[in-house]
Amino acid sequence: MKYKLIASAIAAGVLSSSPVHAVAIATASMTGFNYTLVDQNLADGITPAISFTDERSSVFATAQGSFGAFVSDSAISWFTPVQAAVTSPRGAASAGVTTTSASATSTLSATGNPGSADFTQGRASPVQASFTITPNTAIIFSFVFDGSASTSLGRIGTDDEVAQASASIFVSIAESSGGQNLSAFRDVSARYVQTGNAFAGETRSFSGVVQLAYANLSSSSVNGFFYAAVLADSQSALPVPEPEGWVLMTSGLIGLGLWLRSRSAQA
């Protein structure tokens, strides 16, 4: 009877020490994209205008670490429906463009055992193109960004999980003087919170307008390139237990069972 109690206690200890799930999740979306032209010189008789070429939409999704894969796609037009999605044993990522919006998601599941980091990522760019803008003309790009990021455990030991959602606009201008690059970026990220020696996950979100302005103040038209994109990224160094660990644990329990059986037979 004494040995049966010992076996029960060991089994209960093994079950109670089973890894705790950790999940890092990020979502990002873009809606209401538009641009506005502003006349910087009303006396020059030039009507503000911009022309676009090489218009594209693109998506990308990847899952790396214990399993590696990626999917990408693109369309030769703005806001043309296109999708990408990938799954792995640890998580999933997706990215999509519709006729009015773009979105990206990233989810990474793990367990509370330390090890190497994995990550998943989704990225969607509904608008990218080369352009030519008239002299003395300013342009303002803008869209609404909604992002959320959450982690469940945050950190165990020195290993942690991270989730991040972001949005960006990038403009590159080719000028006779050498050109310039402009960018606007907004992100929301979650990692962990700490109280004393204890760690916990966190959840954060953002909803608002992202804008970027460029002004051609010269007397000549200028050429440039721009894109806008949203990205969702999840990372974790809290991986699934190695198969060898489960084998050793199972072997130990089997050995304990055989030993108890032999003790019973001798009694």
Does residue 52 register a pLDDT over 80? Answer: yes
Does residue 262 register a pLDDT over 80? Answer: no
Mean pLDDT of the 81-87 span: 93
In this predicted model, what pLDDT tens digit does every residue of 192-235 receive, in sequence order?
A: 999 888 889 999 999 999 999 999 998 999 999 999 999 999 98
- d(CA 180, CA 37) in angstroms, rounded, equals 19
Phi-psi region of 128 (alpha: psi -120 to 50; beta: other; left: phi over 0): beta
DSSP letter at 177? T
Q: Which has more confidence, 58 or 157?
A: 58
How do the domains of the chain map onto residue ranges?
A: 1-19+242-267, 20-240
Q: Which has more confidence, 115 or 89?
A: 89
Q: Which residue has the tokens 């509370």?
A: 112
Give the Cβ contact number of residue 200 at 10 Å.
13
Going from the C-alpha of 68 to that of each of 2, 25, 63, 112, 119, the distances in angstroms are 50, 18, 5, 21, 10
Please choose, from the candidates 121, 132, 145, the residue with its C-alpha nearest in 3D space to the C-alpha of residue 216. Answer: 132
Does residue 246 register a pLDDT over 80? Answer: no
Does residue 33 register a pLDDT over 70? Answer: yes
- 27's CB contacts (< 8 A; 6+ apart) are 103, 104, 105, 106, 146, 147, 148, 149, 165, 232
- 3-state SS, 139-165, equals EEEEEEEEEEEEECCCEECCEEEEEEE
Pairing of strands 69-75, 82-87: unpaired
- Count of H-run helices and E-run strands, the chain: 2, 15
In this predicted model, what pLDDT tens digit does every residue of 136-187 receive, in sequence order?
A: 999 999 999 999 999 988 888 777 889 999 999 999 998 777 788 999 999 9
Return the half-sphere exposure (C-beta side, CA atoms, 13 A cut-off) of residue 128.
Answer: 20
Going from the C-alpha of 242 to that of each of 58, 116, 178, the distances in angstroms are 37, 11, 54
